[in-house]
Amino acid sequence: MNTKRIVITGGPGTGKSSIINELTKRDFTCFEEVSRQVTLEARKDGIDQLFLTQPLLFSKLLLKARTQQFIDATSVDANLVFLDRGLPDVLAYMDYVKSDYPNDFTEACKQHVYDKVFVLSPWQEIFVSDSERYENFGQAVEIHHALLDTYHRFNYQLVDVPFGNINSRADFILEVLNE
């Protein structure tokens, strides 16, 4: 089976996880965002915000986990697999904090190419900070631009998901994929 790997990306607080949850309810195979797991694991070791204190270590852990998700998505018996963020997100966040990263980060993005990428724009009305999301809305907008730049650098044609309720946004994504 030729499984298509579909990324849903966007800055923090744009509704990615809500859409992934909705697609899961609709019986699609979805891979959740891994950064929260990495953050929570670091907290067990006494590090409150690993990305802020050790961005390269945090990003290496994310790159490894997202590469594994990409590989795992290939072995799924489904036409479509949705991923909450992709490998280029790691580079975008590193660019956002103006931190250098090794060339293997770029190579991983070149070697693992997604079939389609949907992007969610910053949306003030739904943005909420929480214990794992340290960014404010202004920072979310900056991260959004870093994401756009990074995905364009890898020649992705991004599909903007319009604002709306979760059902309408999930419907939009599925309609585009059925065109």
Closest C-alpha to 92, from 39, 128, 135, 127 = 135
Q: In CATH, which superfamily holds the domain spanning 4-169?
A: P-loop containing nucleotide triphosphate hydrolases (3.40.50.300)
Share of the chain above pLDDT 90, in %: 65
- Confidence (pTM): 0.90
The encoded tokens of residue 32 equal 């959740």
* pLDDT tens by residue, 89-99: 999 999 998 98
* pLDDT tens by residue, 65-101: 999 999 999 888 899 999 999 999 999 999 998 989 9
List, edge to edge, every strand of the sheet that includes 29-31.
29-31, 80-84, 4-10, 116-120, 158-161
Helix axes 55-74, 103-111, angle to 10 degrees: 20
The encoded tokens of residue 70 equal 């990409």
Beta strand residue intervals within the chain, DSSP E = 4-10, 29-31, 80-84, 116-120, 158-161
For residue 53, name the pLDDT band (cuts at 50, 70, 90). Answer: low
What pLDDT does 130 receive? 62
Mean pLDDT of all residues in the chain? 89
Domain boundaries, the chain: 4-169
* pLDDT tens by residue, 111-159: 999 999 999 999 888 777 665 556 788 888 999 999 999 999 999 999 9
Residue 168 exposure: Cα atoms within 13 Å on the Cβ side: 5
The encoded tokens of residue 124 equal 């003030």
Helix axes 137-153, 87-96, angle to 10 degrees: 120
C-alpha pair distances (Å), 98 with each of 68, 73, 91, 92, 113? 26, 31, 10, 10, 24
> How many Å apart are CA 128 and CA 112, to the nearest integer?
31
